[in-house]
């Protein structure tokens, strides 16, 4: 049977572990429609993988959970104590230029510097060549 061959080749494990190509994933979706027993086998393979992962898992030290839970409790208490104060802590800064000033983008400044340096170099070259021509 085609579904048994698909299972025995390890295609389900390959797809569930993320090693399959998009074409193989599309083929599996097609096989799910054709063979409903593949879905049961997929669930079983998922349970086996999950059991193996939890069996070999390294748990973090207990103080990590304690510290995280303590910080969450402090944050919740702070929000419950002063919900209005939490909303009032925003500072607004006026970023508009002062009146009577003009703001210019940095690119325009760079273009102006390049243009002025080209003009001054051209004038310098004209002076040098006219002096050399005499």
64 domain residue, yes or no: no
Q: Which residue has the higher pLDDT, 82 or 11?
A: 11
What pLDDT score was predicted for residue 68?
93
- Domain membership flag for residue 87: no
* Tokens (6 digits) for 23: 């074409």
pLDDT in tens, 23-67: 988 888 888 888 888 888 889 989 998 998 888 888 888 899 999
More confident residue, 6 or 85: 6
In this prediction, what percent of the chain has a pLDDT beyond 90?
A: 26
41 neighbors 75 (Cβ within 8 angstroms): no
Residues with Cβ within 8 Å of residue 101, at least 6 apart in sequence = none
CA–CA gap between residue 89 and residue 55 (Å, rounded): 47
Asked whether residue 66 is assigned to any structural domain, the reply reads no
**How many domains does one find in the chain?**
1
Mean of the per-residue pLDDT values for the chain?
A: 84
Q: Is residue 96 part of a domain?
A: no
**Could you tell me if residue 2 is left (phi over 0), alpha (psi between -120 and 50 degrees) or otherwise beta?**
alpha
Asked if residue 107 is part of any domain, the answer here is no
């Amino acid at each position: 049977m085609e579904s048994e061959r698909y299972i025995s080749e390890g295609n389900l494990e390959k797809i569930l572990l993320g090693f399959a190509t998009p074409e193989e994933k599309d083929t599996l979706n097609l096989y799910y429609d054709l063979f409903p027993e593949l879905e049961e086998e997929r669930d079983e393979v998922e349970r086996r993988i999950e059991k193996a992962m939890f069996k070999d898992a390294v748990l973090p030290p207990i103080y990590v959970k304690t510290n995280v839970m303590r910080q969450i409790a402090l944050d919740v208490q702070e929000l419950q104590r002063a919900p209005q104060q939490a909303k009032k802590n925003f500072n607004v800064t006026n970023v508009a230029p002062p009146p009577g000033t003009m703001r210019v983008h940095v690119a325009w400044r760079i273009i102006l510097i390049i243009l002025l340096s080209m003009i001054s170099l051209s004038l310098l070259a004209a002076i040098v060549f006219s002096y050399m021509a005499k």
